[in-house]
Amino acid sequence: MKAALGHRVFWVGMIATAVLVVLLANVHLLYVAFSSQPGCVPHLKERGQTSGQFRAAKSAC
């Protein structure tokens, strides 16, 4: 009886740990999304001379 309870406690702990890791990863992603400024990255300011060179449609910086 004690062995079955020990296994159950182990698996409940493992599942709780996995859920906590997923939640913390999502909190971190939200923090980075709201604290960063992805519009302020280096990019071409003028039209490129060769094909395949792109510039930002609207600069945020």
pLDDT in tens, 12-50: 999 999 999 999 999 999 999 888 866 666 665 666 666
pLDDT at position 54, please? 66
pLDDT at position 4, please? 83
Number of domains making up the chain: 1
Residue 46 domain-assigned?
A: no
pLDDT at position 28, please? 96
Residue 56 domain-assigned?
A: no
Domain that holds residue 2: 1-35
Q: Looking at the DSSP assignment, which residues form a beta bridge with residue 48? A: none
Element at 3 (helix H, strand E): helix 2-35
Residue 31 domain-assigned?
A: yes
Structural contact between residues 39 and 61, judged by C-beta atoms closer than 8 angstroms? yes
Q: Looking at the DSSP assignment, which residues form a beta bridge with residue 37? A: none
